[in-house]
Amino acid sequence: MLKYVYLKKLIEEMDLEIVHQSTDLNDIRIYSSDISRPGLQIMGYYEKFVPERIQVIGSAEWHYFNQLPYEERYSSLDKFLSYPIPALIISRSLPIFPELLELAQKHNRTVLRSGEITSKLFNQLISFIDIQLSPETRVHGVLVEVYGVGVLITGKSGVGKSETALDLVIRGHRLISDDTVIIKRIEDMLQGRSPEVTRHFMEIRGVGILDIERLYGVGSVKYDEFIEMNIELELWDDKKEYDRIGLDETFIDILGIPVTKLTIPVRPGRNVAMIIEVAARNFRQKILGYNAADKLNERVKKQIELNMSKKEREMGDK
Secondary structure (DSSP) of 60-129: HHHHHHHHS-HHHHHHHHHHHHTS--S-EEE-TTPPPPHHHHHHHHHHT--EEE-SS-HHHHHHHHHHHH
d(CA 120, CA 91): 10
Say if residues 146 and 280 touch (Cβ distance below 8 Å): yes
d(CA 204, CA 210): 7
d(CA 116, CA 58): 10
Catalytic residue list: 140, 161, 179, 244
d(CA 223, CA 226): 11
d(CA 286, CA 281): 9
- Distance between terminal CA atoms of the chain? 79
Say if residues 94 and 114 touch (Cβ distance below 8 Å): no
Secondary structure (DSSP) of 153-181: EEESTTSSHHHHHHHHHHTT-EEEESSEE
Q: List beta partners, residue 201.
A: 211
Say if residues 212 and 220 touch (Cβ distance below 8 Å): yes
Supply angle C-alpha 100, 102, 104, rounded to 5: 65
For the chain, how many residues are written?
318
Backbone angles phi, psi at 264, to 5 degrees: -115, 120
